[in-house]
Amino acid sequence: MRLEGKVALVAGAAGPANMGQKIAERLAQEGCKVVVTGRHEEPMRAIAEQIGGNYILMDITSKADVDAAADFAVKTYGKLDIGVNATGWGLMKPTHETTETDLDKIMGIQFKGPFFFIQAMLRVMGQGGSIIQISSATATIMLENHAAYMGTKAGIDHVIRTVANEYGARGIRANSISPGLTETPMAGDSFSVKELIDAFAKEYPLGRLGTREDIAAAVVWLASDECFMTGQNLQVNGGLTLRRNPILSELGEIAARATAHLSS
């Protein structure tokens, strides 16, 4: 029970079995009171009941919603010690085809919204606390057709560093975690093609892709009083950033073979 007596707000926990829900589940197992947030009520209600926590509807792109969620957590449990933002949008589109609408949406979800979230955490946290942003290995290494996603993740990583520097005097820690390819609803149908998964897995020195449980375990440590770290980006991806993601031509060949197999 490493987090007994602590209260957490987890954003992005509205998808059944997504990373945010797994993080909320693990935090609760460690004794934390958890409020989950997102845009879909039924999945949040289900996970909140499962972990003995609470939930509130929240659109990360709405500052009013984010502020209301932070206030709800404090009103419900008396304080807020941990803020975890696991929201994201896996936009895959060539840079020259990325529209202004695409940019507005991903900036809202992966930069402007997380900025609102950080501001809300700073407003309600007292002396001490842990702010944790779920980032991506692609904020460091390349993956083609992913520029807007990668850029916004890298940008909010740098904001985390500035927050760590500015608010350390209040005992507030701010860190981010970078998974690689992980089996979540955001990954779509990728995990249904074994050859595709193998193409990614061979680039991981530890020999396998990451799991939601890997990320949740890292969150627990960052949230605990044992953590003497701030302003850092944890590459929780089995060493992927020592190597690379598959390049587009390799993935195209795999997709072509899969299509040919299905049509034969």
CA distances from 113 to 11, 94, 106, 133, 180 (A): 10, 24, 10, 12, 22
Q: Are 156 and 176 in contact (CB under 8 A)?
A: yes
Domains defined along the chain, listed by start: 7-187+209-240 (3.40.50.720)
All residues at 6 or more sequence positions from 184 whose CB lies less than 8 Å from its CB, including other chains: 15, 17, 18, 19, 212
Task: Give the Cα separation of 62 and 46 in Å (integer).
Answer: 24
Which residues are CB-neighbours of 210 under 8 A, at least 6 positions away? 179, 180, 181, 182, 236, 237, 238
Backbone dihedral angles phi then psi of residue 32, each to the nearest 5 degrees? -85, 145
149 is catalytic: yes
Distance CA 156, CA 111 (A): 6
The model's pTM is 0.94
The 10s digit of each residue's pLDDT in 208-251 is: 999 999 999 999 999 999 999 999 999 999 999 999 999 999 98
**Residue scoring higher pLDDT (120 or 258):** 120
Of residues 163, 169, 176, the one with CA closest to residue 232: 176
pLDDT of residue 253: 84
pLDDT at 262 over 70: no
Q: pLDDT tens digits for 31-56?
A: 999 999 999 999 999 999 999 999 99
Gap between the Cα atoms of 175 and 222, Å rounded: 8
Comparing CA positions, the residue from 84, 76, 38, 29 lying closest to residue 57 is 38
Question: Are residues 84 and 61 in contact, defined by beta-carbon separation less than 8 angstroms?
Answer: no
Is residue 202 within 8 A of residue 243, CB to CB? The reply is no
Please write the tens of the pLDDT for every residue from 97-139. 999 999 999 999 999 999 999 999 999 999 999 999 999 999 9
Q: Select which of 55, 77, 149, 167 is catalytic.
A: 149
Nearest to 58 by CA among 14, 101, 21: 14
Quote the pLDDT of residue 193.
79
Interval 162-211: pLDDT, tens: 999 999 999 999 999 999 999 876 665 666 778 989 999 999 999 999 99
